Copies of this chain bind each other. A is one copy, B any other.
């Protein structure tokens, strides 16, 4: 249900389970993790996550399995653990990650989007975090990711009120960074990122994640081949 392809400097993961509006079954999270790990070790400079069906980015957990989850504690632990592990790989990959969101984005679909560094959405995307409507809770890490993006007040309004937000409203909140009406969703930003030095992107991502050694990374970046090339161009009048 996930496709993975590397094209030029972009590793793209595509959610393709249109018959269930891209709802993710319990077994799907492990498959997603495998894609992210493959993307992480690929030669790509950045990772994008999007859907094959423009009508649905991700409808969340698959409701068809929820009856089984209600009755089987082991399955619940597998669900929570494998989802958390997949999102952890997305958060801690060494490349910038961009979610490209078209159509519905609900429940843990929002958690998937907030696990990425940047979110680009269609104006008619539709966001909602609705566990409270179904008697459910929401993972701590995903609550915290939401709070970091929209602040505790808007996170509370989303989570307790289960309101829906389109792309523009989500942008005003800080839930998405960019609304894009162009044909190829997010293409300008993807190309801008891909045009930059991959050594820089890797160092900057490690710094954003607070990884040990940021000071060394900053200082030694001045001794990198990528910088030598840029400095030579600058002296040649192209800076």
Contact = CB atoms under 8 A, between A and B. Distances in A.
A128 to B, nearest CB: 11
Nearest to A146: B208
Contacts of A137: 200, 203-204, 207, 214, 217-218, 221
Contacts of A227: 66, 70, 134-136
Contacts of A162: 192, 196
Contact of A197 (B69, B134, B149, B218): B134
A138 B205 CA distance: 10
Nearest to A119: B153
A118 B153 contact: yes
A225 B134 CA distance: 10
Contacts of A221: 131, 135-137
A70 B117 contact: no
A239 B214 CA distance: 48
A96 B158 CA distance: 12
B234 A66 contact: yes
A134 to B, nearest CB: 4
A163 to B, nearest CB: 7
A159 B239 contact: no
Given A134-B230, A149-B151, A156 B96 contact: yes
A45 B235 CA distance: 43
A125 to B, nearest CB: 15
Interface in A179-235: 189, 192-193, 196-197, 199-201, 203-205, 207-208, 210, 214-215, 217-231, 234-235
Nearest to A235: B67
A132 B192 CA distance: 10
A69 B222 contact: yes
A231 B70 contact: yes
A9 interface: no
28 contacts: A46-B160, A67-B235, A70-B227, A73-B223, A76-B219, A76-B220, A77-B219, A117-B152, A117-B156, A132-B200, A133-B197, A133-B200, A134-B227, A134-B231, A136-B222, A136-B224, A136-B227, A137-B204, A139-B215, A143-B204, A143-B207, A148-B151, A148-B152, A155-B208, A156-B208, A157-B189, A160-B196, A161-B196
